[in-house]
Chains A and B, each alone.
Chain A
Amino acid sequence: MTGSRRSVRREAWRRFLRHRQAVLGLLLTVLLALTALMAPLVAPHDPDEQTDIVATRYQPPSVEHPMGTDRFGRDVFSRVVYGARISLMIGFLAVAIAISIGTAVGAIAGFLGGWLDTTLMRGVDLLLSFPRLVLLITLVALFEPSIALVTLVLGLTGWMGTSRIVRGQVLTVREMEYVTAARVLGFGQARILVRHILPNVLTPVIIAATLGIGNTILAEAALSFLGLGVQPPTASWGNMVASGRDTMLDAWWITTFPGLAIVLTVMSFNLVGDGLRDALDPRHVA
């Protein structure tokens, strides 16, 4: 890469901004994050508030309840807003865990090579041969479902892709001149790895992480839908969709709106991820 670091970054940022869709995705993502952070301010009602259940339940969307009320009379819109908090939090944390594990494994395998590399990558292949949801369900079923457990197992089942990416990058960068120079200068293995190689392998990892948040949110929603994720009464989009299933024909709003929230959220993360990929990877064909 020629040119100073600043101009490369600015060029990439300009390329990103040129894609209207990517910018839209970024705006949506920021909007979602703000909504989640400021949930108490955004939500018109308390998500757990139940007054006279018989009088307030199953109300269709109205001005007072923009997304209607559920079977206990709780405002669906407020629950969706608070659900954003849960989903985004789980998404970010789980991806953080997955990226950490994946980067560590991939870097060690790529840098040290040999039998360690082969063993680690065989392990990765083994884990990848299970459908992620099957692994998730099996793991959660063995213990009691909770937000912490869900986040942990999502992280534990999502690191494999990152490890492959990092390993590939490390293998490429390892042979480059500045690494050889560092070695000649007598820097220790660990120092070379952390300070010279890792900063240069981060780009695909960032892209994978962004797209990974979308997938993680989908996985958490599926788990919660099946009753193995976030437990009621805590509002998660997945378990909200499940709660509306019995009365779907009469009270369609309970199932529809949380699902729409999921779609919009995942879409915005995918848009940002695509935009990042177009901006940062010059070889990508649009």
Chain B
Amino acid sequence: MPILVGIVTLIFLLLHLAPGDAATAYFNPNVSPEIIDRMRENLGLDRPIHEQYFRWLRAFFTGDFGYSFGQHRPVSAVLADALPNTLVLSGVSLVLIFVVGCAVGAVQAVRQYSKLDNVLTFTSLFVYSMPGFWLGLMLILAFSSPALPDALRLPISGVTSVGYEFMGPLGKLLDRARHLVLPSIALGIASAAGVARYMRGSMLEVIGQDYIRTARAKGLPERRVILKHALRNALVPIVSLLGLYLPLLFGGSVVIEVVFSWPGMGRALYNAILGRDYPVVMAASFFFGVLVLAANLVADMLYAAVDPRIRRA
């Protein structure tokens, strides 16, 4: 909770660091200076700074985020439209990151130093060093190419297709799913490579442990040894990666949403910045901070659930 206050304070400070204030956004040659001053008074911008700060705090906590200049509607409406889209995209990416990452890492560990391991290590490094926006653009290029067979085509922008309203419920679901494929890959694969590297190391460490040797000595089939014992224990430290990768995920979503025209918070933030729509900028930044906090909380709970030693602490 105190961190929330900290976030709001930080944003408030940033806003007042900028040259000009909210009223200057209304400034254009047709508006006389007296009207600007009146507007300043209305918005309370001529009050002393600490008074502004408390009004700001109170406004934020009652859900009043101000009015968007660019879109001519309350900021809360703008965010209410954008937030679910970002959550869906981030959620799918997150699943991708951890499922693919853990699978690849585990396979690499079991086949350590094999050709597959080396190829995967190199690929991981390559992917990990890629800018997400470039990968997104390359995917768009590949999937827009006239040489691609029609069956493999995937949508390259937006959340839904043109005929969405006329599809049946299953059709709608499938359409949404198809639109999610490319953006979530572009968003998640670099982090998946990071998880794979970590998982490989964790799995190798676990396999070297005595209890694995015991299980093998007991005569358990190798598959059971790996899947039931090694994998489960190797997964534990991976949960701590969640806290690390979540800010990266949300940050990456800004760029990916712009590239794929995905109507989420990242794109809203970007458009707001280009349009000098400061209320949206501040509210969106605030929500990004809140999202990361919430996600960290969930990650902490998951960590406690997965590792019984933590629970006792």
Contacts and interface: CB of A to CB of B under 8 A. Distances in A.
Contact of A134 (B144, B145, B251): B251
A221 B131 contact: yes
Nearest to B144: A249
Interface stretch (B49-57, B121-129, B230-238): B121-129
A122 to B, nearest CB: 8
A226 interface: yes
Given A143-B19, A255-B137, A285-B204, A126 B251 contact: no
A285 B109 CA distance: 12
A226 B258 contact: yes
Contacts, number: 130
Nearest to B290: A129
Contacts of B248: 131-132
B201 interface: yes
Given A137-B270, A137-B273, A130 B285 contact: yes
Contact of B138 (A131, A138, A259, A271): A259
Given A267-B129, A271-B125, A129 B296 contact: yes
A177 B129 CA distance: 42
A226 B128 contact: no
Interface of A is mostly: helix
Contact of A226 (B15, B19, B201, B270): B270
Given A142-B14, A226-B270, A252-B141, A133 B255 contact: yes
Interface of B: 3, 6-7, 10, 14-15, 17-19, 125-126, 128-134, 137-138, 140-141, 144-145, 201, 204-205, 247-252, 254-255, 258, 269-270, 273-274, 281, 285, 288-289, 292-293, 296
Given A142-B18, A245-B137, 16 more contacts: A126-B3, A131-B248, A134-B250, A138-B285, A142-B17, A221-B134, A225-B131, A226-B255, A241-B134, A248-B137, A259-B137, A263-B134, A267-B125, A267-B126, A285-B205, A286-B201
11 contacts: A130-B7, A130-B247, A131-B248, A222-B132, A225-B131, A248-B137, A248-B140, A263-B130, A264-B129, A267-B126, A285-B201
